[in-house]
Amino acid sequence: MIEIEHTAHSAAPRSAVWARLAELDNWDQWGPWTKTTTHNDVRTLVSERKRLSGKPYVMKERVTVMQPEERLEYDLLSGLPVRNYHATVALADAANGGTDITWSARFDAPWPVFKGLWYGAMLKVLRDVSAALAKA
């Protein structure tokens, strides 16, 4: 299992960061997605990033925990070849004001020989997404 984590800092208070994070259908307003929608309990995100075929990645996720102003957890259901993907976004008051956003994930790589490649690629995604939320 691969485990990754990145912490970004936002000057905004935790309540403001949570307000953006909790608007599940609006992640495309601040993150690297062109469209986000929710149907029943499954959210679909269309990525700005493209596959080798030129088509965008389309991920389906299920939010499993929403603890207001504390944390959001979700599972990836489809869209990437990784298995058992679970992520947590935790918010905490920063020592010097603002909010620390810690985005962590764990998953199994589809091909163990490429474990290091998946680690690096997914860590870059977490860094990009947490930084985008911090700036929102």
What pTM was estimated for this model as a whole? 0.90
Domains of the chain: 2-135 (3.30.530.20)
Report CA 39 to chain centroid distance, whole Å: 18
CA pair distance 108, 111, nearest whole angstrom: 9
* Residue 48's pLDDT band (cuts 50, 70, 90): confident
CA pair distance 103, 124, nearest whole angstrom: 12
CB distance 61 to 42 below 8 Å = yes
pLDDT of the residue at 52: 67
Closest CA to 69 of 18, 130, 104, 7: 18
Q: What is the pLDDT of residues 19-39, one digit of tens each?
A: 999 999 999 999 888 899 998
pLDDT of the residue at 49: 73
